[in-house]
């Protein structure tokens, strides 16, 4: 599912009534099945752009179209994974019931022909896919941060979306869990044929995951760089990060960001 962003901008009102730029006009074409990361300094408009794509906010000008249809409200085909998994999960529901919530709002029903009690089987299958088999009866508070974020991803996948938007989803977990979650995301992206837009502060993470990296300029001033990432797949946490192309792209992006 492709995404077309045309002259998209967002302004907010400050407490004193003056205009604050959240995002200067941005135009982008994101191809179906791609994995694109958006990076930049704090306050550059990364999350604002993601929320506009998701239909969670309305632009001040410009438009977002998903598969040719302008986004006026959150599209059924799009799911959003938030940075703060602790607030996005329903703490009074079990892990299984959190995932069930996604099934109830599915874009395209998931079917498992010939299986009785298919809904429960789908929940178990999704939890297995994110490495949480056997946790359906537990509650979010009983899980680590990385495990809670896996539940949030499973719930998003339960809606069988075509587009997955992730806002710094791994920023609050430790380095080893983060690497595991990165590889998990790559597997899910491939297996579910998703179009993924991923927001991060981490240039290394963006390069490791993506086909393309968009660098936003400071203070919401639009696109600073648009970089293709011609690294071979499947990616590997050791060899990919040692690839000369990876190191060159990392140097170029980091130098540009630090200089601006």
Each domain of the chain, given as residue ranges in start order, spans 3-77+162-259, 87-159
Across 204-222, average pLDDT: 93
Residue 114 pLDDT grade (very low, low, confident, very high; cuts 50, 70, 90):
low
Residue 156 has pLDDT above 70, yes or no: yes
CA of 207: how far to CAs of 171, 214, 226, in Å?
Answer: 16, 10, 12
CA distance 114 to 56: 38
- Taking the CA atoms of the chain, what radius of gyration do you get in angstroms? 19
pLDDT tens for each residue of 125-149? 999 999 999 999 999 999 999 999 9
Quick one: fold of 3-77+162-259?
A: Rossmann fold (3.40.50)
Residue 192 pLDDT grade (very low, low, confident, very high; cuts 50, 70, 90):
very high
CA distance 260 to 252: 13
Q: Name which residue leads in pLDDT, 87 or 35.
A: 35
Residue 105 has pLDDT above 80, yes or no: no
What per-residue confidence (pLDDT) applies to 128? 95
Residue 43 pLDDT grade (very low, low, confident, very high; cuts 50, 70, 90):
confident
- Among 195, 190, 175, which residue's Cα sits nearest to residue 237? 175
Percent of the chain, pLDDT > 90?
A: 75
Percent of the chain, pLDDT > 70?
A: 96
If you average pLDDT over every residue of the chain, what do you get? 92
Helices (H) and strands (E) in the chain, counts: 9, 10
What per-residue confidence (pLDDT) applies to 117? 58
Residue 17 has pLDDT above 60, yes or no: yes
CA distance 152 to 105: 14
Across 206-211, average pLDDT: 98
Tokens (6 digits) for 135: 């946790």
Across 151-161, average pLDDT: 94
Residue 13 pLDDT grade (very low, low, confident, very high; cuts 50, 70, 90):
confident
Residue 112 has pLDDT above 60, yes or no: no
Tokens (6 digits) for 34: 């791609």
Q: Which residues contact 33 (CB under 8 A, 6 or more apart)?
A: 193, 194, 195
CA distance 159 to 49: 22
Across 53-67, average pLDDT: 95
pTM tops 0.85:
yes
What per-residue confidence (pLDDT) applies to 252? 96
User: What torsion, rounded to 10 degrees, do the Cα atoms 54, 57, 61, 62 define?
Assistant: 10
Across 90-116, average pLDDT: 79
Across 137-166, average pLDDT: 94
Residues facing residue 80 across a β-bridge? 165
């Amino acid at each position: 599912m492709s995404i077309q962003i045309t002259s998209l901008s967002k302004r907010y009102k400050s407490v004193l009534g003056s205009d604050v730029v959240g995002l200067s006009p941005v135009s982008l074409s994101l191809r179906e099945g791609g994995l694109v990361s958006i990076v930049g300094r704090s306050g550059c408009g990364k999350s604002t752009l993601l929320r506009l794509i998701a239909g969670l906010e309305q632009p001040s000008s410009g438009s977002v179209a998903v598969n040719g249809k302008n986004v006026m409200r959150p599209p059924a085909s799009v799911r959003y994974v938030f940075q703060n998994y602790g607030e996005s999960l329903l703490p009074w529901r079990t892990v299984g019931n959190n995932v069930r919530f996604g099934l109830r709002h599915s874009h395209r029903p998931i079917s498992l022909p010939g299986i009785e009690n298919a809904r429960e089987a789908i929940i178990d299958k999704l939890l297995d896919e994110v490495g949480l088999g056997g946790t359906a009866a537990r509650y979010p508070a009983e899980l680590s941060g990385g495990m809670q974020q896996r539940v949030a991803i499973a719930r998003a996948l339960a809606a069988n979306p075509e587009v997955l938007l992730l806002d710094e989803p791994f920023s609050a977990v430790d380095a080893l869990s983060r690497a595991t979650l990165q590889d998990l995301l790559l597997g899910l992206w491939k297996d579910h044929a998703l179009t993924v837009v991923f927001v991060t502060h981490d240039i290394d993470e963006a390069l490791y995951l993506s086909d393309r990296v968009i660098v936003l300029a400071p203070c919401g001033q639009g696109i600073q760089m648009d970089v293709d990432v011609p690294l071979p797949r499947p990616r590997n946490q050791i060899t990919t990060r040692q690839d000369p192309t990876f190191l060159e792209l990392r140097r170029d992006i980091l130098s540009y960001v630090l200089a601006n």
